[in-house]
Structure 1
């Protein structure tokens, strides 16, 4: 594109706008589904079951955030970080590919007291 056109800033802005629109649409649909889940949950379940399900919903939200944050950072870096070293782009790409799947079990295991204590003991040593 740089060889065919002199100014590609419009294309970069359009790509970033499209990425942000997709993330917002996903976030809106996720929030809508959580509102429907919580509405159903609060009308049917007991207090203990409600808190348990709410704890699961919070874990789901953390997992979604772990997925979207590196994606947004990588998108902004690719569009506007032309002067950044290639190593940063490669490192952020690896973070985007590896961190969400590796952190997913950690996010969901934090609810378990035994596993939470083991994870803290690994990092505190």
Structure 2
């Protein structure tokens, strides 16, 4: 898990958050064990920004990955920072309910680990469209 947390920390350092000053880093591990980081990117037209988790997922997809098998996320300070509702659903597209999401301080100290099912119970996913 250390490599995942370090990737999230490195991504957070690159976040573009000039308006909120709330810097978020995330990292996802794919089915091959590779780690991909992403950061939040704000925009002056507020709804046009995006979160760290989909940035990391995008890197995974661009590298040929198809499944998220583990996640780390961190925001500012020592407060608990979990993926927002939209990001939980985006993770659900590529991750099973038992995937672990590690929430860390900005320095990389683990605060708490959740499963995706704990954060997004009774979710709607790709199998609902089968």
Q: TM-score range by the shorter chain?
A: under 0.3
Structure with greater proportional strand content: 2
Task: Return the index of the structure with the highest Cα Rg.
Answer: 1
TM-score calculated relative to the size of structure 2: 0.25
Higher relative contact order (CA 8 A, sep 6+): 1
Higher helix share: 1
Q: TM-score, normalised by structure 1?
A: 0.26
